[in-house]
Amino acid sequence: MAASSERSPPPFPDSEEPELLEDSDEGADAFTGTSISEMDSPSPDSTRPPKDIFNEPLEDIFSDPLSNVNSEPQKKVDTKIPSPSSDEAVDLFSDPLDDDSEVISSPEVQNPMPDLLNEPVQAPKSDLLSEPPVSSVKKAASAELFGDEDEEDLFKEPPKVVTKKPQPSGPPVDVFTEVKSDVKVKPQVKDDPTDLFAEEALTAPAPKPSASSSSSRTNGVHSDEHDLFSEATVELSLDSPRNDRKKKDAVKPSVSAPAAPVASSSSKAPSKTLEELEEEESEDTFDLNISVTNPEKVGDGMNAYMAYKVSTQTSLTMFHSKTFTVRRRFSDFLGLYEKLSEKHLQNGYIVPPPPEKSILGMTKVKVGKEDPSSAEFVERRRAALERYLQRVVSHPSLLQDPDVREFLEKEELPRAVSTQALSGAGFLKMLNKATDAVSKMTIKMNEQDVWFDEKIQDVENEEQHMRKLHVMVESLVNHRKELSGNTAVFAKSVAMLGSSEDNTALSRALSQLAEVEDRIEQLHQEQAANDFFTFSELLADYIRLLGAVKGCFDQRMKAWQRWQDAENMLQKKREVEAKLLWANKPDKLQQAKDEIAEWEAKVTQYEREFERISATVRKEVIRFDKEKARDFKRQIIKYLESLLNSQQQLIKYWEAFLPEAKAIA
């Protein structure tokens, strides 16, 4: 620990303190704590440590962009050291995962040294760093398990994990209160989290993560995690998030009263934080390769369908084996999306949308034998499905979903029924969509959050431009194909001209020219394919994804609407009470008071839910933006490289032709 801490964030007081001993202690604490917590309230305890760890990295990432950091300057100073290292959040994250895994084994053994060693090597950068503070926090938490837990929970809810930082500073409660004061919206917990996150992000102590991770792992291993997710044990980072989530889920129902909300919030918050952490980690260390291959037509006539081979290669322990293959048909992919969006959309997650159904394209495939356009259609769909699955599993919280695992692993899936466009279920879905659209029109949200206000506008604009760009790239693809076809025709024509030319040298040169044009035709064709698969499909994907982002915004708006409705209802109930008071009807007064209390609770709950979904959506959007930037850069560079390659080939062809032309006598 010490070594690691020193390397990454030299000026780390917190990290130094925990050091090796602390790590080991932490592990011990964590264990004890977990056991205790389990006794008391197993879910929160187990969840907490992992949450912290996870939260930290997440926070860091998020906080950087947001620049929310306000509170706890002290910690920041300490922690800030790591931040510089954390330039590449993604990379760092991956590293941390590795560290964590290593750490896990170590914590159990209680050998801090190995962890430290691993850490520096793997992830010296920063995200990892953030984790360490968590560990320290955890230690504190372990000491005061219950109290800490509550605090953590509160913090976790809104911004996910901020709590950790406060812990290092000393009394978690104080920290929280401070945070709250900072935050405008949520007096209690929500505001704090943002602050905390910011702080954490700044601090992000490198050495700590190992300890924290170890502790979390240990916790997970020892506690419920195994039960819940057998997989969890293997990969610390991933597992812990899963566990947390599960725990959270379990906890969530409990939330109702103001006091309870903390716990509930904590449970939810941790899940989020975990997810975030997972995301980060997954980006970096992501060890899950999915490929969709071998499209195969099954059956005949209009009942025929295409089945794809979905192969997964992974070292993630959540899966039963390292490599496995299943066959899935298109509607299975759609079914997966249905399941995922049903579960996660309402929480504000961006669920990657699958490629659209294409009745025309598929009918062609069904009817046509082997014509090139249907082959292209199949390949296009295959590639789109592959990208879709990759996006799903790269989302930390979606990866944890049992349906995803089932989809990847299970031999036989129940046939997805509701995906058929013309089925009764499809009709119902259309109805729902229509009502959604109507309600969207009617909800006039008074946007308080400037960030959301701008972001929603940005996404709208971006989608519009992307659509425009997509149309143009499609047109380029078409023109390039046309060019390719015309070049081929011209090449043939020149070959004919060459054959009828009676000057030998000129005739030869013309047939050489025909050959050059033939090759160029190939080149154009390849380039058109590149235009399409690397550029156009990227845009199509992101147009769909932006739609999903907008869906998240809508979910948030719905939550807001619920909250506002409850607020109005409460207002009405209060008026009734006032009237009753005035009318002096004590018998009904009690009932009115009860109703007010009920609605007050509801308002608090809905408000909290709104805050939660806002925080989630925000994180999701930030994650999405990051991924988008990465995707676009990667794909466009790839595209430019394909262009470069074309030009190189072109030069080769013409260089070969030039002497032929000069040889004409």
Partner 1 sequence: MMVGAFLSHSLHPSYLHLQRSDASSNHEHLSSVLTSLCVSPQQEGLDDGPDFLSEEDRGPRAVNVDLQTDATLQVDISDALSERDKVKFTVHTKSTLPNFKQNEFSVVRQHEEFIWLHDSFVESEEYAGYIIPPAPPRPDFDASREKLQKLGEGEGSMTKEEFTKMKQELEAEYLAIFKKTVAMHEVFLCRVAAHPVLRKDLNFHVFLEYNQDLSVRGKNKKEKLEDFFKNVVKSADGVLVAGVKDVDDFFEHEKTFLLEYHNRVKDSSAKSDRMIRSHKSAADDINRIASTLYTLGTQDSTDLCKFFLKVSELFEKTRKIEARVAADEDLKLADLLKYYLRESQAAKDLLYRRGRALVDYENANKALDKARAKNKDVLQAETTQQVCCQKFEKISESAKQELIDFKTRRVAAFRKNLVELAELELKHAKGNLQLLQSCLGVLKGDT
User: Which among 75-83, 117-125, 312-320, 481-489 is the span making contact with partner 1, rule CB under 8 A?
Assistant: 481-489
Q: Does residue 140 contact residue 24 with C-beta atoms inside 8 Å? A: no
How far is 475 from 412, CA to CA, in rounded Å? Answer: 41
User: Which among 17-25, 97-105, 302-310, 472-480 is the span making contact with partner 1, rule CB under 8 A?
Assistant: 472-480
How far is 128 from 12, CA to CA, in rounded Å? Answer: 14
Residue 67 found at the interface with partner 1 (CB under 8 A)? no
Residue 493 found at the interface with partner 1 (CB under 8 A)? yes
- Closest of 191, 144, 182, 161 to residue 58, by C-alpha: 161
Residue 490 found at the interface with partner 1 (CB under 8 A)? yes
Site for partner 1 in 597-656 (CB under 8 A): 625, 628-629, 632-633, 636-637, 640-641, 643-644, 647-648, 650-651, 654-655
The smaller minimum CB distance to partner 1, of residues 433 and 465, is found at: 465
Query: Least CB distance from residue 640 to partner 1, whole Å?
Result: 5
Gyration radius (Cα) of the chain, Å: 29
Size of the site for partner 1 (CB under 8 A): 55
Residue 497 found at the interface with partner 1 (CB under 8 A)? yes
**Residue 560 is encoded by which pair of tokens?**
């807001």
Q: What is the largest CA-CA distance in the chain?
A: 117
Query: Least CB distance from residue 535 to partner 1, whole Å?
Result: 9
CA distances from 579 to 589, 596, 600 (A): 10, 14, 18
CA distances from 275 to 270, 297, 311, 531, 655 (A): 8, 38, 24, 35, 55
Q: CA-CA-CA-CA torsion for 351, 355, 359, 365, nearest 10 degrees?
A: -140
H/E segment holding residue 324: strand 323-329
Q: Does residue 141 contact residue 172 with C-beta atoms inside 8 Å? A: yes
Query: Least CB distance from residue 201 to partner 1, whole Å?
Result: 18
> What secondary structure does DSSP assign to 494-562, as a single string?
HHHHHHH--SHHHHHHHHHHHHHHHHHHHHHHHHHHHIIIIIIHHHHHHHHHHHHHHHHHHHHHHHHHH
Query: Least CB distance from residue 501 to partner 1, whole Å?
Result: 7
Query: Least CB distance from residue 267 to partner 1, whole Å?
Result: 34
Q: Does residue 523 contact residue 649 with C-beta atoms inside 8 Å? A: yes
Exposed, middle or buried by CB within 10 Å (0-12, 13-18, 19+), for 72? buried
User: Which among 276-284, 389-397, 487-495, 607-615 is the span making contact with partner 1, rule CB under 8 A?
Assistant: 487-495
Query: Least CB distance from residue 664 to partner 1, whole Å?
Result: 4
Query: Least CB distance from residue 485 to partner 1, whole Å?
Result: 8
3-state SS record for 132-200: HHHHHHHHHHHHCHHHHHHHHHHHHCCCCCHHHCHHHHCCHHHHHHHHHHHCCCCCCCCHHHHHHHHHH
Residue 469 found at the interface with partner 1 (CB under 8 A)? yes
Residue 87 found at the interface with partner 1 (CB under 8 A)? no
The smaller minimum CB distance to partner 1, of residues 399 and 514, is found at: 514
Query: Which of 104, 116, 466, 566 is the binder for partner 1 (CB under 8 A)?
Result: 466
H/E segment holding residue 296: strand 288-298
List CB contacts of 152: < 8 A, sequence separation 6 or more: 48, 51, 52, 141, 161, 163, 164, 172, 266, 270
Query: Which of 473, 540, 559, 621 is the binder for partner 1 (CB under 8 A)?
Result: 473
The smaller minimum CB distance to partner 1, of residues 470 and 558, is found at: 470
The smaller minimum CB distance to partner 1, of residues 67 and 423, is found at: 67
* Residue 88 per-residue DSSP state: -
Residue 456 found at the interface with partner 1 (CB under 8 A)? no
Query: Which of 500, 582, 584, 586 is the binder for partner 1 (CB under 8 A)?
Result: 500
Q: Does residue 523 contact residue 652 with C-beta atoms inside 8 Å? A: no
User: Which among 359-367, 370-378, 420-428, 460-468 is the span making contact with partner 1, rule CB under 8 A?
Assistant: 460-468
The smaller minimum CB distance to partner 1, of residues 293 and 461, is found at: 461
Residue 480 found at the interface with partner 1 (CB under 8 A)? yes
User: Which among 341-349, 500-508, 565-573, 608-616 is the span making contact with partner 1, rule CB under 8 A?
Assistant: 500-508
| Cα 66–chain centre separation | 17
CA distances from 160 to 24, 58, 156 (A): 26, 8, 4
Query: Least CB distance from residue 249 to partner 1, whole Å?
Result: 35
Query: Least CB distance from residue 203 to partner 1, whole Å?
Result: 24
How far is 196 from 390, CA to CA, in rounded Å? Answer: 32
Query: Least CB distance from residue 450 to partner 1, whole Å?
Result: 15
Site for partner 1 in 234-293 (CB under 8 A): none
Query: Which of 260, 476, 569, 589 is the binder for partner 1 (CB under 8 A)?
Result: 476
Query: Which of 415, 479, 572, 579 is the binder for partner 1 (CB under 8 A)?
Result: 479
- Residue 256 DSSP SS3: coil
Site string for partner 1, 504-543 (x = CB under 8 A): -xx--xx--x------------------------------
Rule CB under 8 A: which residues touch partner 1?
Answer: 458, 461-462, 465-466, 468-469, 472-473, 475-476, 479-480, 482-483, 486-487, 489-490, 493-494, 496-497, 500-503, 505-506, 509-510, 513, 625, 628-629, 632-633, 636-637, 640-641, 643-644, 647-648, 650-651, 654-655, 657-658, 661-662, 664-665
